[in-house]
Each structure stands twice: as C-alpha cells, then as structure tokens.
Structure 1
Amino acid sequence: MANMQCIKGFEQFSKALEQFPQNVARNVMRTALRQGAELLHETCKRMAPELEKEDKRSKGHAVPGRLKDSIYHKLITELSNEWMQTYYVGVRRGQKSEQVKVKGGKVLNLNAYYWTWVEFGHYYVPPRTSQQKEFYSEKRFNAAARMTGMAVWIPPRHFMRDAWTLSKDAVMDVTIRYMEERIPREAKKLGLNWKPS
C-alpha cells in the first residue's frame, strides 16, 4: 500500500502557475516586443528619404521630414492575448486633408499618403494643359500618358523593406535578451523557482 502524503502549498502553487502566463504576456512579452518595435521604428525613420526643400507648387502637402514623422509603432490589442502580442510598425497614411497639426506656426498634414509611391516606385505624369483638361479626364490622361511615353517611371526607394532586412536580427536579439532577463524575475515574483536551461 502506498504512503499518502499531504502536499502543503499546492493551492498557492497552482494559482501562481495559472497567473504566470498572464504576467509574462502583460509584463514581459509586451515590453520585449515594444523594444523590438522601437528599434525597427528608429531604423525606418533613419532610412526614410527626406525632401530636400519644400516644393512651392505642393501648397503645404510635401513638407520636408513628413515621411519620417509619419512612421509609427503601435500595440494591436485586438490581435494580442496572453499567448501572443502583436505590434505594428508602419506609415500613417490617409487622405491629404486628414490629421492636420500646427508645428512652428506652420499647418502640417501628418499623413504621408504618398509613401507607397516612394517605397514601390510610381509613374510621374506632367500636369494637363488647359486644352487637355477639356478633352481628357485626369484618369484617361494618365493612362494615355503611360501609353505614349509621356509618363516617367520614378524608381522605388525602399526604406521600410530595407529597414526590416537591416534590423531584423537586432530586433530579435533585443526581444530575446529582454525576455531571458525578465521571465525569471516574473517567476520569482510569484514564488516559482525558475532555472533556465
């Protein structure tokens, strides 16, 4: 017949084990991924091309540094839970008129609606003359300009793709290093003895 033994503290141990994944997700994974996202964000900003001088014809739409200012990182709470955390690093885009802010007395639009043109390349079509406006809609004129060779292909200047390629290993290192440091501390807070292999 086997000896029955009473395990003391099992209830507390069980509660600590239940709480551990939530604490790791909230306190460790989220912060680790934020550090990785911040590193990628800074690399994207550093690699983004900057307009040399303001174009007078653009009426305030093309402002030096707007592309860099439009890059952001954000926690996506809808896609995050105790097993997975999701951060997004991207470029704020939208309509030309959205998200206006005043900076140094100038009204700036924070959206870089044109960032895909920079990242992937685009055709430049010269503006229509008044006579061409009578006969062509803008869409038809653009199509005709491409077919006739009036449109000029502007090659891409990859900055998001290159930033990821350049910094993905560093992002992973920062994230893993932080998790290796913090998970044992989180276990210790709950009274669990954590010894990484």
Structure 2
Amino acid sequence: MMRFDTSSLIEAVKQTAEQVVKSIDEPTLRTVGFAGADLFRDQAKQIALYNMKTGMLFDSIIVKRLDEESDGGQVQVYLVTVRNGNASRDGAYYWRWVEKGHKFVPKNTNVSARTGRTIGWAAHRRAAELEYGNARVRAYPFMRPAYETRKRDAVDLMTRTLAQQLARNST
C-alpha cells in the first residue's frame, strides 16, 4: 500500500492561488475586460457594414466602461453600445430602429412653408393608424448577432490576455 500526503500539495495550490489573486490588479482587469468588449464592438461594426448608408452607425458603435458598476480591482464592467447623439449632434440616434425594425412612415409630398420639412404629423398619424405595423421596415440586427457569434471567442481572448498580463506582472 502506498501513502501520499496531500497537505503540501494543497498548501502549494493555496499559495499559487494567492499569488495569482495578488497579481491581478485594476489595470490588468481593465485590459482583460476591454479586450473582450473590443472584440464584440468590432464584430458589431462588421455586421453594421452590410447595411451601411452614411457610415454614422458604423462610427457610433463604441465601448464604454461603466464606472458606477466597476469597483477597482475586483470587477470591471464594459458596455458595447451606440453613441446616441440626436438629429443635430453626431451619433446614430436611430440605431434601435435599425436593430429592431420600426413602422414605415411614408414621405409626405407636401413641403411645409414654415419648416421646409416633407414628413409632417399627418404622415406620422397615418403610420400610427396602421394596426400593429402592417407596413414595417425590416430589422437589421447587428448587436445581438455580434454577441451570439463571438461570445466564445471573447472568453478565449480574455483568457489569453489574462495569461499574458499575469506573465508580464510576474517578471
């Protein structure tokens, strides 16, 4: 019969785990988290290219660190989103309509003498009267497919980045 004392092995594993936890600091976690989020952002931009008209949506897809949910060296939270803006400021305020589709508002042929706009309230009322979106603009999703296609790759990339950061911190 052979006996094996595992107490020294358990102690070595505990010490190694403590060293790993100590070497993971806030800059390391930020680098690892951003690597995964960056991969999702690039995939969403790639999908958005298929339906690009002006390039505003492509340019507005960003990675944002959520300071209120990140707590230093323990948790880092990143959000891949679209810079909203509005009609007068840079940003793709319409991105949810592209992602999920929307009701079609036909172009009004009457030009307003006061505003110079061609789509007026009458066109919006006609669109609202359409029951449950009989005339809908097709959805062109880009965020959800980006997440679904790249989630395993993001985990792999984050694992590799963490290993590289740990190797860099230990030397």
TM-score w.r.t. the length of structure 2 is 0.71
Q: Deviation digits for residues 100-157 of structure 1, max 9, x if unmatched?
A: xxxxxxxxxx211111111101111213454xx9xx656533312x1398x6211211
Shift of residue 27, structure 1, vs aligned partner? 2.2
Matched position secondary structure for 2:25 = helix
Q: Does 1:126 align with 2:106?
A: yes
CA distance in 2 between partners of 1:113 and 1:119 (Å): 12
RMSD: 2.8
Deviations 1:78-113 (A, max 9, x none): 211121001111111132112xxxxxxxxxxx2111
Matched, 1:147 2:131: yes
- Correspondence list, 1:110-189, <5 A: 110-128=90-108, 130=110, 139-144=124-129, 146-147=130-131, 152-186=135-169, 188=170
1:25·1:84 contact (CA, 8 Å) conserved in 2?
no
> SS of the residue aligned with 1:79?
coil
Q: Distance in 1 between matches of 2:163 and 2:84?
A: 36
Give the aligned partner of residue 67 of structure 2: 77
Aligned length: 142
In our comparison, the structure showing a higher alpha carbon Rg is 1
Per-residue CA deviation, residues 27-59 of structure 1 (Å, 9 max, x unaligned), is 2111011111111111111110201xxxxxxxx
Q: Which consecutive unaligned segments of at least 5 residues does structure 2 have?
A: 1-17, 111-117
Unaligned runs of 5+ in 1: 1-16, 52-63, 99-109, 190-197
| Residue type at the aligned position of 2:142 | F
User: Compared with structure 1, are the counterparts of its residues 148 and 72 closer, same or farther at alpha carbon in structure 2 (3 Å cutoff)?
Assistant: closer
Match of 1:42 in 2: 42
* Partner Cα distance (2:125, 2:29) in 1: 51
Q: Retained in 1: the 8 A contact 2:102–2:139?
A: yes
Q: What is residue 29 of structure 1 aligned with on the other side?
A: 29
